[in-house]
A = this chain, B = another copy of it.
């Protein structure tokens, strides 16, 4: 994996605060220069973790100076105490770096329902601030890992009206992953100069094609958070609107970073042995295509078939039928690895199974489904469902 690129106006630090994990960093601080605009997408869970409503308010104001994130305890379902802990974290960071509490974003990932040892966070903040540096992004990514098996980062370069800009993101997540985000935390920073509403719009668009198009086990979490910080230090001309042609390259770079991170999360899905891409077309709309794709991607029967290398298109068909979307049965087709197995409402006769079986032995699987209604299309990603998932989840108190 390529090294992550530093971003002008952003510094990182990670430290071992001993919140739950031992012998590894578990507390991350991202500091962003004054004037940083922020956008974000957060879980839609009806029982969000305590950091989530706090972040929603910060994001709504469009300005941020820091992100403090811990791994080990998710600070969920703790009543008043949980809300107080969030404010205490924000205050400790604000006091240490010299900004307002309301400019500090907070995130937590880990076990639900246990108390966050906020006093240890407060005690660690001075050392964290002292350690802030433009590099150290890899250690930052490692500090927020829970069941992840590898730290996740991605970077791209682009330009806006001729000025070079950089986009770098880190993320964590492997189980409890579904669209509407998941205990998935993703922090993306850029030095591009962008107005806050545009930052918000870009992160929402980007989320739809990346984090909202992945699923590991269909279980969206209480704490999903995707934040995009734009420091403005690249000094590009301020874009006029979301459609400003000068943004084309930047948008591409941002979406590529988000997609890289999202696919890393899926590949790290608990127990995953294969990355599965599901492309749906012919749907009534793109949103309809995505719902169909996710129905296929969330089907335990499809996912176990993939795990077993079985080109079981009957199960794919079954999932298509369950999505609650408009489909035209006599025009449905399904293909594995580009090889059609079902077409125009029936099985492909005299199918040569050899190339299909070979494809399914691989680690990157492609399933295509066409449903015969309209122009809608979408791509979603998931992983297979294996014994590894059972091993991990019948044991991990999270």
Residues of A at under 8 Å CB distance from B?
43, 45-48, 76-79, 111-114, 175-176, 178, 180, 217-222, 298-301, 304-305, 307-308, 310, 312-315, 317-327, 329-330, 332, 342, 344-347, 385-387, 389-390, 393-395, 397-398
Contacts and interface: CB of A to CB of B under 8 A. Distances in A.
A327 B46 contact: yes
A82 to B, nearest CB: 9
Nearest to A346: B79
A394 B317 contact: no
Contacts of A180: 322
A344 B178 CA distance: 27
Nearest to A47: B321
Nearest to A301: B219
Contacts of A301: 175-176, 217, 219, 393, 398
Contacts of A178: 322
A316 to B, nearest CB: 9
**7 nearest A-B pairs in the assembled complex, by CB-CB distance:** A112-B314, A308-B394, A47-B321, A45-B321, A304-B393, A217-B300, A79-B346
A52 to B, nearest CB: 11
A308 B310 CA distance: 28
25 contacts: A43-B321, A46-B321, A47-B318, A47-B320, A47-B321, A47-B329, A47-B332, A76-B314, A76-B317, A78-B346, A112-B314, A112-B315, A113-B313, A113-B314, A176-B301, A178-B322, A219-B300, A300-B300, A300-B389, A301-B398, A308-B395, A310-B394, A314-B398, A387-B387, A389-B390
Given A218-B300, A310-B397, A386-B390, A318 B176 contact: yes
Contact of A397 (B43, B176, B312, B390): B312
A220 B317 CA distance: 11
A326 B178 CA distance: 20
Contacts of A46: 320-327, 329
Contacts of A330: 79
Nearest to A43: B321
Contacts of A307: 390, 394
Nearest to A328: B46
Contact of A219 (B76, B176, B319, B389): B319
A221 to B, nearest CB: 6
A326 B219 CA distance: 18
Contacts of A48: 321
B327 A47 contact: yes
Contacts of A347: 77-78, 113-114
Contact of A310 (B175, B314, B344, B395): B395
Contact of A346 (B77, B175, B315, B324): B77
Which of A113, A299, A324, A398 is most buried by chain B, counting CB atoms within 10 A of its CB? A113
A219 to B, nearest CB: 5
Contacts of A389: 300, 304, 390
